[in-house]
Amino acid sequence: MHNTAVPPDEVVRRTVRRSDWVPCKAAFIDCRTPGSDLKDNYSFIGPGVSQSADQFVNLREPHGFNLGAAGMPNGVTNSLHLHFTAEVFINFGGEYQLRWGADGQQGEYRSVDGDVISVPTWIFRGFTNVGDDEGILLTVLGRDDTGGIIWGPSVLREAAGHGLHLTADNRLIDTVLGDELPEGVALVTPISQEEIDELDVFTVEQFRTRVTHTADRTWTREPFLCSRLPGGGAELSLVIGYGLSEDRRAVPRLHEPHGFSVAWLRATPGEGVLRHRHDETQVLTAKAGRWAVRLNSGAEEEVVELGTLDSLSVPAGAWRSITLLEGEGELLVVTGGDGRAVLEWAPEVVAAAREVGRVVDPNGYVAPAAVLVTATEDD
């Protein structure tokens, strides 16, 4: 495992605070459509599927996934569209009516605070804020290159009536503001009914299996080697993929490859995850409580405090520890890759864990030290 030291200026660059959010109000082709014209689109990690050259991106370097958010006042709708890679919504406070199908009539689900929703690829989806104006949906998109999106036929037709067109290379052309339709570049045309008829159908019951509501979470009480040590008592709930878990029996609600894993971490003040590293990119976003993330080690240690909706991108190979400072702590953990990240623990953590009878077995899971002592190796 390679070692990555994160210098002070890089720590600042990789920290995206709520106050650093910059909205784009014309990110998509429906930005003039009545009922969809008051959306704010945010791109924190990667550009996502924004179609605007003016979209501000906090951190452009590839992570293997994109992270952003949708900000919408009550009553505003995100029009029907289709994604090729994973799209996961994390409800950070608010109430949203999700609908799917080419006409939005296949089914609906009302999302509330704390939901994690993995919308199937290759189906049309849209949503409306039916709650408070301040509701926020975080979005995680699979892969560095998402391939863009396909809009529902009615969305493209209505946008054209407002002078908005989309090129095949994902450029938004605004003839009202003086843009000229490019010569020799094809414009996106509505998907045909024959192609729509070939898309997957999801029932409400099938869709619900892709939602992890707060009550659906299963918490692992000893997810890590450090779990029995002072300061290492965080609990982990796997949502999508196996992520960081070192509990051999922990199973995520969704196994399907997304290009990233999603998990919740919770702790009481003074507890968290002791010093470790792994070879995947990772983004930590605070949902509740105030957290301290310590990067590097020794004299090079850098400390970042995260409050609600603050995010930190931790590069692969960087030493880090996580501690809840105050409040009821809840941290969203997004880790790159489809597999389980293999953790390397700091030597002092390994030694202290052995003192309380815990080691990591050859398969990377926490095990009783006394049992491992009796193991023999084949020739």
Which residue is it, tokens 């918490």?
A: 219
Calpha distance 132→304 (Å, rounded): 30
* SS (HEC) of 155-204: HHHHHHHCCEEEECCCCEEECCCCCCCCCCCCECCCCCHHHHHCCCCCCH
According to the model, what pLDDT value does residue 31 have? 66
**Burial (CB count within 10 angstroms: exposed 0-12, middle 13-18, buried 19+), residue 346:** middle
Q: Which residue do the tokens 């945010």 mark? A: 42
Report residue 377's pLDDT band, with 50, 70 and 90 as the boundaries.
low
Average pLDDT, the chain: 92
Whether 200 has a pLDDT exceeding 60, the answer reads yes
Tell me which CATH homologous superfamily contains domain 8-212. Answer: Jelly Rolls (2.60.120.10)
Q: Which CATH number fits domain 217-373: 3.30.2310.20, 2.60.120.10, 1.10.3720.10, 2.60.40.1170?
A: 2.60.120.10
Burial level of 192, CB count in 10 A (0-12/13-18/19+)?
exposed
For the chain, the straight-line distance linking the first and the last C-alpha, in angstroms and rounded, comes to: 27
Read off the DSSP letter of residue 24.
Answer: B
Mean pLDDT of 289-313: 97
| Helix runs in the chain, H state only | 8-13, 153-161, 193-197, 204-208, 347-355, 369-373
Ranges of CATH 2.60.120.10 domains, the chain: 8-212, 217-373
pLDDT digits (tens, 9 = 90+) for 147-186: 988 888 877 777 777 777 777 777 777 777 777 777 777 8
CA torsion sign for 344, 349, 352, 356 is: negative
> Can you tell me the distance from the alpha carbon of 352 to that of 228, in angstroms, rounded to the nearest whole number?
9
> Which of 365, 369, 335, 372 has the alpha carbon at shortest distance from 245?
365
pLDDT average, residue stretch 13-19:
98
- 370 burial type by CB count under 10 A (0-12 exposed, 13-18 middle, 19+ buried): exposed
Q: Which residue has the higher pLDDT, 79 or 187?
A: 79
Predicted TM-score (pTM) above 0.85? yes
pLDDT tens digits, one per residue of 117-145: 999 999 999 999 999 888 899 999 999 99
CA distance 161 to 7: 51
Please give the Cα distance from 232 to 345 (Å, whole number): 12
